[in-house]
Each structure stands twice: as structure tokens, then as C-alpha cells.
Amino acid sequence: MGKIAFIFPGQGAQYIGMAKEISELYPAAADIFERANNALGFDIREMIFHGDDETLTITENTQPAILTASIACLMPLLEAGIKPDYTAGLSLGEYGAHVLAGTFSFEDAVRVVRKRGKYMQDAVPVGLGAMAAILGLSREEVIDICEMAQSAGVIGPANFNCPGQIVLAGETAAIDEAIKIATERGAKRAVLLNVSAPFHCVMLEPAGKKLRTVLEDVAVNPMTIPVVANVTGKVIPSEDQVKDLLVQQVSKSVFWEDSVRTMIDAGVDTFVEIGPGKVLSGFVKKIDRGLRTLNVEDKASLDKTLEILKG
């Protein structure tokens, strides 16, 4: 059997009730919610299990909620003795990867991502920034479109998710212009995303500066599992670089496709998505159909994953 990677989802994967079933079956998962409540000073478990979508989609709630649910879903795998060879996460998910690798304590990570969410939300007044997904064009074509749309304002590629799916971020007028150009160029789809801010572009640099201050007080431990960084798409060579890469990540492109290819080149053939949804599994399949994708978000998906990985 080839190598295994655990991957963690980013913002947008959240839903009410995520990780509830696993937390009811596994005390170690329930304990993660307890630890999150204590670290944050409010009942995030109640928000996740019994709250409303509107509250959960506020960025400063979404980020700690997804991280908590993902780490809760991780616990049964660790208890079963399954440890991956590599780990990575999309945007916010990179913090999940660092908790797994031991770089940060869970408590530190959940406190940091709550502030990260607030800083990202506050960086750009609502309505001034936007994001769009461009489907069916190459990386080169999309970069070219961004250069053409710059006459209308700040714009750049935010996420290189998988072949033929790239997300742009920037000022609303420039995003509208890019959608128009992409449609003219024959994109399969070019659509605005329902997000509250233009993540992963230079407009978020103020958020990165505030995040740097918060990270200064956080202890970084040696990584016990190689972590692949969004900003480089490569394995982080040393824990000395972790904080800087996480600061850059807020306002720079996420190279998710490159990150997955790095793990494939290292011998990974099984990707386990841990936490809500299967968005990353879909990206992995589009990068290489021959890879095995599993996920853990409820009892059924956990049982299937344990059966395959322990078999």
C-alpha cells in the first residue's frame, strides 16, 4: 500500500451538526468540543450542533467551528493507530494539519483562527471586494485575464484548486471585468462566489499583519508529520518558517493543486479528508482519477475509512 495523507477542509464546508455523531460515539472527539469551549470562552459546541446557519457563516465563527469539527473527526483515526505520512489543509485547513503534526496545540490553534477570521472579515468593508470561480481555463489563461482586468482594480488568483478550477479575488469591479473576459474566452463557467471578503489577495495584507502579532505569542513545536504549505505547495522545511507562511497565506494564492501533486510525487496514493464535506476529495480526483479518496465526517464515513485503512 502506498502512503496516506490527511487533508483538512477550509471555509465554506461548514454545516449545522457537523461532527455531532462522531462526538456522541467517541469521548476523545467530545473532549475536543469541551477544550474548544474552554479555549474560546463561549459554547461553540452549542453553535455548531444547534445554532443557525447565519451565525455559523460569520467568518470569525466559521473558522474555529470547522477546525474544532475537523479535529474531533480526527480523534477516532488517531485512537485506531492510523497516522498519515503527510498532511495539508486548504487555507483555514492548514491549521488542522498543524494541530495533527503537533506544531501547535489545539487550544492555541482554535484561538488563533477565531482572530484570523475576524481580521480577514474586517480587512475589507463588505461590498468592496469579491471572489469568482473560473472553470475550464488554464492557469496561464486565468493569470492573463487577471492582468487584463487590473485596469478596473486590484485582482489576482486566490486559489489554484485543481486543473480547470481557479478562484480569483480582488476589488468588485475588477472581478466583474474578469468574469466578462473569462466568459468571452470560453470559460465553462465564470461565477461570483458567495463569500464575505476577497480572501487570499493583497487586500488582506492588513489582516496578515494583525495575525503576525497574534502568532508571536504562540509556541511552535517540531512537526511530527511533514506539512505541505498552501503558499509554496511544498513541504515546510523547518518549523521556523511556519508562522511566516501562515501570515503570507492570508493575502497570497493558495496552491492546492501543487500541494496535492507534491504529496503524489512523495508516494501518497490515499487522501483522507477529515471534517465537514468532500470538496477536497473532489479536487484530488480531478488532479488524478487513480487516487483513492476517503473522508471522515460521520459514523458511516468513519467506519468505511477505518475498514479500508485497517484492512
Query: What amino acid is encoded at 39 in this protein?
Result: A
Task: Identify the CATH class of 3-123+203-310.
Answer: alpha beta
CA atoms in the 13 A half-sphere facing the CB of 275: 33
Q: How far is 232 from 236, CA to CA, in rounded Å?
A: 8
Average pLDDT over residues 170-194: 95
pLDDT for 127 equals 82
Q: Name the CATH superfamily for 129-195.
A: Malonyl-CoA ACP transacylase, ACP-binding (3.30.70.250)
Catalytic choice (23, 70, 91, 281): 91
Catalytic choice (23, 98, 200, 301): 200
pLDDT for 126 equals 80
Q: Is 200 a catalytic residue?
A: yes
Average pLDDT over residues 140-154: 97
Sign of CA dihedral 165, 119, 203, 259: negative
Domains 3-123+203-310 and 129-195 alike in fold = no
pLDDT for 111 equals 98
pLDDT digits (tens, 9 = 90+) for 39-98: 999 999 999 999 999 999 888 999 999 999 999 999 999 999 999 999 999 999 999 999
Residue 140: other Cβ atoms inside 10 A: 8
Q: Looking at the whole model, is its pTM more than 0.85?
A: yes
- What the block records as the C-alpha cell of 178 is 474578469
Domains of the chain by residue range: 3-123+203-310, 129-195
